[in-house]
Amino acid sequence: MATTSRTAVPAADGWFTVSDRPKLLGGCCPACGTYVFPPRSGACPNPDCSSDELVPTELSSHGPIWSYTENRYAPPPPFEATDPFEPYAIAAVELVEEGLVVLGQVAKGVLAADLRIGMEMQLELDVLRRDDEHDYLVWVWAPAAPARGGA
Amino acid sequence: MAGEHDVVVLGAGMHPWGKWGRDFTEYGMVAARAALADAGVTWRDIQYVAGADTIRNGYPGFVSGATFAQKLGWTGGRVSSSYAACASGASALHAARSEILAGFCDVALVIGADTTPKGFFAPVGGERRTDPDWLRFHLIGATNPVYFALNARRRMDLYGATADDFAAVKVKNSRHGAHNPNARYRTEVDAAAVLNSPVVADPLRLLDICATSDGAAAVVVASQDYARHRLGTLDGAVRVRAVSTVTPTYPQARLELPDFATDSTAVLPAPALGFKDSIAAAAYDEAGLGPDDLSCAEVYDLSTALELDWYEHIGLCGEGEAEGLLRSGATALGGRIPVNPSGGLASFGEAIPAQAIAQVCELTWQLRGQAGARQVEGATSGLTINQGLFGHGSSVILTR
């Protein structure tokens, strides 16, 4: 089968927008204003708030690194690792306005040695896995322009 | 030292930790029989069984209280089965203590046992796209060591911790565990072995990260009246002074296993005490004791770096001072406040539902002066601490 006609779809429905300037999607409580990620419906997590509604909301797409690591061994399923396995970094990034720290893979080719706590990152999308018809996309953190560079 | 809300540890027993892949109830039965014998009670005397569950061993693991009651032989006693991930053992102890203090029973068996698969802990089977524990593996490959590593990296970048510091924790615990007949790893490890082991999740190496093990632990706990009757006196008896099973306070502002994100601090600021701090604080408050009163502590060293975090969370030193405390030798046997005299998870590996109970077994033996070559001299009080996935605190304070 030809592989040129795959459709790009999110690997997690409704967790981020698919565009050139992607945004994470979270929830925001219309009553107290707190945020959640991943997005969900239902009760606000603030114990002082009795709202049962969380409204889908675009979140900040950049922020400083809270901490980071690098996987040197293939994680077990349901992660679909490449064979041979290529080490990749993972970062937890602060979304300052929303007061959230959000975990994500780091863009391919950027490893732990390229990162430091406090470094500014921005959201990008990459292919998590593919089948004959789809590219399943996931959010990744990449060093904010113009400091992008993999050693 | 005594309080009306104390219960007494009458007996402790374990099955050694290892990796055999046998039915988890085999290990549990060995631990139960040992605890009963140590307590000087028969199975018929036990009025309540509090089981700590395992989720990787089928239905019997989900109903562990009944599973062990049936294995030991139905007596019509009451049971409970608790699951709180790594904190399951503390939850079971909490259940038994509550039954005793409420006057519903006098003497109870608390038991946990596990058989674990090889390698990384993976989520339980099936495609579960609404389960965050499944999704963190699928979308990010965020294994447990990834979360350990995020915390380790912060110690390095913020407090100046080094790979040598992390290795020194492993060296210390392996030295302690070499004297523990229940430990899985009983060979002393030197720093070079840690530093030459492969990186798993940067900056953590294979020997910085605890293994997964088979094992079992059990304790017999009783009311003070029952224990006085059995022992003749409560002088020198090991008492449970506190069991802390607190949850986080919103907003939980530190990224924790297995979450994709923290709670939001946009509306409410992070509480003055973070979750790990609050686990110990609740135990100290309940016991009317503080860190200066401790003779020793058993902390959950899932990684070497996490042991250093716990020094600060249980108040042995201030934030950023754990490396200094370690380097001073204070937390080694013979030091001011030995941590993980058992050898810790570094020497045991993790047998999830048994681990918090094993911590209580170790402190029981330490407080009785029965810990042999790993004895903390003159130990009179100790604290256990750990944290279960999804917000389960676990801390027990014991005194004699």
Average pLDDT in the B377-398 region? Answer: 96
Chain A residues touching residue B267 (CB < 8 angstroms)? 32-34, 46, 99
pLDDT tens for each residue of B147-165: 999 999 999 999 999 999 9
Q: Are B93 and B356 in contact (CB under 8 A)?
A: yes
**What pLDDT digit, counting tens, does each position of B211-223 carry?**
999 999 999 999 9
| B242-273 confidence digits (pLDDT tens) | 999 999 999 999 999 999 999 999 999 999 99
Task: Indicate the residue type of B67.
Answer: T
Residue B151 sits at the vertex; the CA angle it makes with A91 and A13, to the nearest 5 degrees, is 40
pLDDT at residue A20 is higher than 50: yes
- Closest by Cβ to B140, choosing from A48, A103, A117: A103
A:75-104 residues touching chain B, CB 8 A cutoff: 75-81, 88-90, 92, 97-104
Asked if residue A138 has pLDDT above 60, the reply is yes
**Type of residue at B400:** R
Query: Could you read off the pLDDT of B20-57 as tens digits, one per residue?
Result: 999 999 999 999 999 999 999 999 999 999 999 999 99
- Across the interface, whether the CB atoms of B140 and A66 are under 8 A apart is answered no
What is the pTM (predicted TM-score) of this model?
0.95
- B133 phi and psi angles, rounded to 5 deg: -70, -35
Instruction: Name residues whose C-beta falls within 8 Å of residue B258's C-beta, 6 or more positions apart in sequence.
Output: B132, B133, B136, B142, B147, B389, B390
Answer yes or no: is pLDDT of B292 > 80. yes
Average pLDDT, rounded, for chain B: 96
**What pLDDT score was predicted for residue B132?**
84
Give the pLDDT of residue A145.
81
Question: Does residue A35 carry a pLDDT above 60?
Answer: yes
B315-342: average pLDDT: 98
Q: Is the pLDDT of residue A147 over 70?
A: no
Q: Report residue A2's pLDDT band, with 50, 70 and 90 as the boundaries.
A: very low
Asked if residue A150 has pLDDT above 60, the reply is: no
What is the percent of chain B where pLDDT is above 90? 94
Q: Given an 8 Å threshold on Cβ–Cβ distance, is B132 in contact with A38?
A: yes
What distance in Å separates residue A6's CA from the closest CA in chain B?
A: 20
pLDDT at B105: 98
Question: Residue B1 — very low, low, confident or very high, per pLDDT cuts 50/70/90?
Answer: low
Over residues A99-111, mean pLDDT: 98
Q: Mutate which of A40, A103, A114, A140 to test chain B, going by most B C-beta atoms within 10 A?
A: A103
Task: State the pLDDT at residue B53.
Answer: 98
Rounded Cα–Cα distance for residues B239 and B287 (Å): 11
Q: Which residues contact A113 (CB under 8 A, 6 or more apart)?
A: A151
The proportion of chain B whose per-residue pLDDT surpasses 70, expressed as a percent, equals 99
Query: Chain B residues with CB inside 8 Å of A79's CB?
Result: 137-138, 140-141
Residue A51: pLDDT above 90?
yes
**B262 close contact with A: CB closer than 8 A:** yes
**pLDDT band at A1; cut points 50, 70, 90:** very low
Instruction: Say if strands B214-222 and B78-82 run parallel, antiparallel, or are unpaired.
Output: unpaired
Note whether B262 contacts A90, CB cutoff 8 Å: no
When pLDDT is averaged across residues B114-126 and rounded to a whole number, the result is 79
Closest CA–CA distance from residue B63 to any residue of chain A (Å): 27
State ipTM. Answer: 0.94
CB-CB under 8 Å, A47 with B250: yes
DSSP string, A31-89: TT--EESS---S--S-TT------EEEE--SEEEEEEEEEE-SPPPTTS---SS---EE
Q: How close B159 gets to chain A, by Cα (Å)?
A: 12
Mean pLDDT of B302-308: 98
* Phi (first) and psi of residue B117, to 5 degrees: -75, 165
**B15, B216 contact by CB (below 8 A):** yes
Relative orientation angle of helices B64-72 and B24-39, to the nearest 10 degrees: 70
Q: What is the mean pLDDT of residues B180-194?
A: 98
DSSP per position, B160-206: ---HHHHHHHHHHHHHHHTT-TT-S--S---HHHHHTSPEEETTEEG
Give me the pLDDT at residue B128, please.
Answer: 83
Residue of A55 and B132 predicted with greater confidence = A55
Distance from CA of B131 to the nearest CA of A (A): 11
